[in-house]
Amino acid sequence: MAISCTCIIILMLVPLVFVGIITDAGTHKLSPLDQEANALLSISKELWSNQHNNVSNRCNWPGVNCNKAGSITLLSPPTPSYFTHEFRTQLCLLKLNFSVFQNLVHLDLSEMGLCEFPKLSGLKKLQHLNLSYNYLEGELPFTLLENLTQLLVLDLSANKFFGSISLIFGQMSSLTHMNLSNNLLFGEVPFTLANLTQLLVLDLSQNELSGFIPDEIGKLTNLLTLDLSSNFLSGPIPEQIGYLKRLTSLHLHSNLLSGFIPDEIGKLTNLLTLDLSSNSLSGPVPDEIGKLTNLLTLNLSSNSLSGPIPEQIEYLTRLEVLTIGSNRIDGCIPKEIEHLLHLKVLDLSGNAISGVIPSAIFIHSSYIDLSNNSLSGTIPSQIGNLSYLDLHYNNLCIKNRQELEFAIPFCYLDYNPFLDYYECDDHLNDHHNKHFGRSLVLVIILVCVTISLGSVGIGICIFRARHHGKLENKAAKNGDLFSIWNYDGKIAFEDIIEATEDFDIRYCIGTGAYGSVYEARLPSGKTVALKKLHKTESENPSYYKSFCNEVEVLTEIRHRNIIRLYGYCLHNRCMFLVYEYLERGSLFCNLADEMEAQELKWSKRVNIIKGTAYALAHMHHHCPSPIVHRDVSSNNVLLNSELEACVSDFGTARLLDPDSSNQTLLVGTYGYIAPELAYTMSVTTKCDVYSFGVVALETMMGHHPGEFMSTMSKPSTQQLLVKDVLDPRIPLPKSRKDMQDVVLVVKLALACLSSDPKSRPSM
């Protein structure tokens, strides 16, 4: 990843140790066992600490195995707990030589921070070589590997190797496992890999490989796992894939593959996982999919597949995950899907599916996303143990909304034309268009409000915003009562006044961009947050516009990581918004407080960043028109009691118009604003991406990364370790997963901070 005008090198936080062999001039006079003993003794302090300095007992050290003669056959040093910057720099300059260990069968130096490829000459018995998760770079060193004729397992993943995969790798005919994933390799997948007929696992994922998948891939008939995902592979899926009948896992997702899914895919009857998502595949889902009766996970999402879901889906009786979202699938959800008794995740969102929802899918599943379709009818009362249900943007008649929202933790039902209309006819179908449905629900809501309050009517913000582009404040008849819209119809204006003692300062928990935030415990026991405009603010046109803007945006989107708007009040006494209450407050405050910051362990911080990313991705890519927040900051990321993130404060957000230049005033929080806004004044989703990068770094560092970011813009030859920028108030991550996640977050955050918007990734 390149950052303009900087030579700062970001290095993995994983502790680094030297595993080299140091011998003196007289070593050659020693016996092979003494040479091995001396070699281990020279590095015992670094690798095994002083607790394991008895070299005569080396065969009992952790990560060391010996044969009956006492010669070492396995070396897998434990990951050290600490090292200094100076020590690491010194080790990186040394070349590592393992030629002493002539009987070595298994060498695992993963996560050791190696910078130089070790010398492996003479290791004729070596079968297992794992150098993954290091800093090895340059072209793949085939010349150092070609003499390892007994090698079965080669794992060079998660390094910095670049260049092409040489054709001569096809000569390593003994290999059963080859993992070159997560590097910088480019060029084509060499057809000579077809010579590796003993391969059980081939993983070339997360590189920059291009070209077609070679037809010769079909010769690897022993393969159990084939992973070519996250590359730039193009062209069709070769029909020869059908020869790989032992495959249990096939990952071709996140490429540029096109054409139809070949019928031959149905010959892979041992498949447990099939992931072809995020490509450009077209045509129908083949009926032959039904022959994959052992399948547990089927992911065909984010393609251009068309036609109906085949009825043969019923034969996938072991299926647990079915994802076909973001395609052009039409027709009905086949009734046969009810036979999938083990189905836990069902995602058919973003298609053109019509008809009714089969009732049985609610009983067994825990996650269902059918949003952005043309489904009609009602929702059955039996919902099993659903934890996530998204049905927004359909034509459904939802009679039991309160019941569903109470029973399902994450339930999204908005944007159905007959939402909450309790007299809707069960026979409503998709002949009722959305325009008619929205008009009808508007009339019903207005009538109910008029009857219950005895007023001449009020402006319903969401519909005025949707149809006229702004909100209008119609005065209530007596000016004293006001029912909060869209909160179960049970909260009166007086409830809010009483709960906050007329917005007493004691209930104020913070301030936003254009108002104060209050905590209110309602008579029902429910706690909500209120953002209130003071009188002077409500009379300010810019604040009033922000208020209306927030209502407009938050009624357009519903997502588990976006603050939920329960309702709002436009009243001659005051104006306020009613939100869900998030107990832990802002990310900024949690990072600033010493005790709360220590509670934010690395896994929690990574999840906070993930949640923020999910929210922005939904706004940018999953809404009818892209929505740009324009004020992403740690103050506007709120945390619930489980430390899950919700993006808040949409007063400056705006919908992007594809037919305009999207010129904007400079808004946002200083220190988070994308630099191009200062001179182009044109807002894009990449502005939010930049702000997200700042928040991600801030979460990892424990404070705003202003000083660190300023060094990025200056030429420097300084080497910087990731561990040196992490929040020192909590221990460095110890597990491999946490280490990997933290490094990935820092890497992505820096990519988001590129001065060139086009170089930043999308959410």
Residues labelled as active-site residues: 631
3-class secondary structure, 160: strand
Closest CA to 299 of 274, 316, 333: 274
Closest CA to 252 of 95, 755, 271: 271
Closest CA to 756 of 642, 662, 680, 702: 680
Q: What are phi and psi of 744, to 5 degrees?
A: -65, -40
Residue 739 host element (H or E):
helix 736-752
Which pair of structure tokens corresponds to residue 416? 């159905």
3-class secondary structure, 52: helix
Which pair of structure tokens corresponds to residue 126? 């070596």
User: Distances from the Cα of 160 to the Cαs of 80, 147, 463, 739, in angstroms?
Assistant: 22, 23, 54, 17
Q: Quick check: 131 and 66 in contact, CB under 8 A? A: no
Closest CA to 153 of 184, 198, 206: 198
Which pair of structure tokens corresponds to residue 752? 């988001």
Cβ neighbours of residue 375 under 8 Å, at least 6 residues apart? 333, 353, 354, 355, 356, 357, 391, 394, 395, 396, 430
| Separation CA 391–CA 370 (nearest Å) | 5
3-class secondary structure, 210: strand
| Separation CA 450–CA 447 (nearest Å) | 5
User: Distances from the Cα of 240 to the Cαs of 199, 548, 578, in angstroms?
Assistant: 16, 58, 58
Q: How many CB atoms lie within 10 A of CB 497?
A: 14
Q: Quick check: 455 and 447 in contact, CB under 8 A? A: no
3-class secondary structure, 735: coil
| Separation CA 230–CA 252 (nearest Å) | 8
Question: C-alpha 135: how far from its chain's center?
Answer: 25
| Separation CA 563–CA 332 (nearest Å) | 33
Full 3-state SS string of 468-532 = HCCCCCCCCCCCCCCECCCCCCCCEHHHHHHHCCCCCHHHEEEECCCCEEEEEECCCCCEEEEEE
DSSP 173-198: TT-SEEE--SSEEEEEPPGGGGG-TT
Longest dimension (CA), the chain: 105
- What is the Cβ-side half-sphere exposure of residue 33, based on CA atoms within 13 angstroms? 11
Alpha helix (H) ranges present in 291-377?
A: 361-364
| Separation CA 292–CA 285 (nearest Å) | 13
Locus of tokens 């923020």: 612
Sequence-ordered strand ranges (E) for 552-605: 565-570, 575-580, 585-586
